[in-house]
Structure 1
């Protein structure tokens, strides 16, 4: 409703509701849309787009970091009512959950003011991409690597881009967000059984991700790494909002690179239940990306999949800048780079088309040794990746011929 702040209320049986509701309904400009019975009902109601603010009890079962992210994803700003405003642990929990607005149970008369303030703040929050090249802490952009089915080289390319970022003075964070079975850890020779992604999911659910995610990263060859799912069936443990949280935290340190899955189909039923969809991590990664890199194979099947994938991707991400990487380019395919570029440009408006040579020797050495391309020295493939990164981050350059060296991987802390 124009000019009105519409709210959802979740008191979870707390006695303050009997005082809060009259105070809210008497204030001009506030409309109570619904009283929710539990967090699941609250999350489902938020997806309807009818509310601006949710007044929630901090003690409501199931109110966690992903639930707060879900509310904000649908344009609903939460306002907490603290059972005991004098207890420091409750204030700490509010901070861990990322809650900005709240009142104590003895200040419910001031709840309408907090609601109106939250509604005004929410109307001013529009997602924006971060312009310009950046290498270093506090200026990070998010680069998402996506590609259609058929093993076009998403993980290899994501790690190659991250390695080149490291060559240019960054310490990029690599997140394995593939819901169909991550392989970043295997590519880098990380063989332990600790999944960084699932550890972050548990920390997020407990409202502790901001304070613990640094300890859940691995340090490998100049990269910071959050490893992926140990088994494809565990995708259900990655709640809605987790990838967005990790990207936002990672941007504060510097560059972020995401390896994603191939499928873009959404599960509409998931929106109303608050549970994740199978491809939710991929879609969430694309929604928060500053730069999208799409990779496909340089053969008839691979290029056909790439063309169809570009059309589907454009329907998903809208007008975000997209760069296409044609992988394993070789003369035996029978097409020139100009011919392939003309074909690809016919299916989407692109920021650039790049070609990586079919350098099997280099990729085999990297995979068998658990290393990045940047650790193996200059090759035709690494030079092609450097040209791609020149397009992604113009104005940046390698730091004085620096070459990455492998240090012993620092184990992730168990959660």
Structure 2
């Protein structure tokens, strides 16, 4: 297998001369003056791997994702101990600048094969592989004294991801996500609530966090630079107190035009850190599944819906929420078809929200179940959430969850059951909240 390689950085000269003397499958075809030239070259299809030395501090997960999407594997050469740790955190193959030519050739071959195996350039799996530290193909980092490899951050947890998604039209995605997280937190479980809606983030407002600072965007910036760990993520989160229990929240982008900050490689890094921080991650997703880049002349343009698609691919549990009326149900059916095409591995669990007799007739659950069996896509409806506008409005007005303002409501009981929590019907009390 012939592997044409491009390089950047004067520090690569010696080792690359050694590569050329090997006369093996790895061939240096271009020596670039700067990273921008390397990125432009990667779009031509001329090279299959890139070796960077000297400019490695400028590498980010987003850049690695961009090269990977073009089918170019990235290898970095760096001697600085902390820099190599960052490269490992970003999932970038790396080695010391003094690496032997034979070893470097093997690293390049391995990185190219791993990129092909991950399906990079054909979907979001590439971004997940690049951003997940577990997917790194480096040789291991030696401590500054040349001793044993540095210990990785201990994975004391392997948190699960629950995505709450649904079609356009306000079916209740945010209401369900917020209250699922609130019920889990109030029950003493370790949970993180994330707002990844790139069209209309509203988790912060729902919880009364008016001094929001786009926590998810901050976390993505750190992840993009390989500097995000569980401790850093915990510092970024805003805290909400629910019945004496802490619910950390990663607030969404404060303006819709900031969606570009939620790049998939960086967001995958955030999810990896979140899995190490808590046992459950509940994510409020955007509705759209459209592949925006197919509408652009530049197929490498950022994708507004990439964050939603990545979360849906990464989710261990996926709730598909639809409004229980003559408009919402057909929308959900069509959206599930789109979901199957966009994320074939997704296994959505159907939740119908705002169930009420005035919209569908007497015995609304039976009516909806019968219609779903006749016209639905085949998945079972796992929950019917009753319409309780007074309770929902009271929670929104107070900036808290249903368990605080309407603990005895039927809607709260249905959400608690979905969350696997025994709902206690305590009287409402003054909420306490602190935001970092």
2:259 is aligned to 235
CA shift, 1:337, in A, is: 2.1
Shift of the 400–384 alpha-carbon distance from structure 1 to 2, 3 Å rule, reads closer
Matched, 1:372 2:427: no
Structure 1 stretch displaced more, 13-22 or 359-368: 13-22
Answer 1 or 2: higher relative contact order, Cα 8 Å, separation at least 6. 1
Structure 2 portions without partners, runs of 5+:
120-124, 129-154
Structure 1 stretch displaced more, 402-411 or 64-73: 402-411
Shift of the 206–32 alpha-carbon distance from structure 1 to 2, 3 Å rule, reads same
Structure 1 stretch displaced more, 70-79 or 284-293: 70-79
Describe the SS at the equivalent of 1:209.
coil
The 2-side partners of 1:293 and 1:250 are apart by 20
1:101 is aligned to 94
Does the aligned pair in 2 maintain the 1:164–1:374 contact within 8 Å?
Answer: yes
RMSD over equivalenced CA pairs, Å: 3.7
From 52, 75, 100, the equivalent of 1:56 is 52
From 366, 378, 388, the equivalent of 1:359 is 388
Matches for 1:104-253 after TM superposition, within 5 Å: 104-105=97-98, 107-119=100-112, 138-210=157-229, 212-221=232-241, 222-253=246-277
Does the aligned pair in 2 maintain the 1:241–1:284 contact within 8 Å?
Answer: no
Structure 1 stretch displaced more, 364-373 or 45-54: 45-54
CA shift, 1:16, in A, is: 1.6
The 1-side partners of 2:21 and 2:106 are apart by 12
Please give the TM-score of this superposition, normalised by the length of structure 2: 0.76
CA shift, 1:313, in A, is: 1.1
The 2-side partners of 1:398 and 1:25 are apart by 69
CA shift, 1:181, in A, is: 2.5
Shift of the 286–42 alpha-carbon distance from structure 1 to 2, 3 Å rule, reads farther
Shift of the 41–209 alpha-carbon distance from structure 1 to 2, 3 Å rule, reads farther
Shift of the 49–402 alpha-carbon distance from structure 1 to 2, 3 Å rule, reads farther
CA shift, 1:322, in A, is: 0.6
Shift of the 142–107 alpha-carbon distance from structure 1 to 2, 3 Å rule, reads same
Does the aligned pair in 2 maintain the 1:65–1:205 contact within 8 Å?
Answer: yes
CA shift, 1:112, in A, is: 1.0
Shift of the 357–50 alpha-carbon distance from structure 1 to 2, 3 Å rule, reads farther
Matched, 1:276 2:282: no
2:360 is aligned to 334
Please give the TM-score of this superposition, normalised by the length of structure 1: 0.80
Matched, 1:259 2:271: no
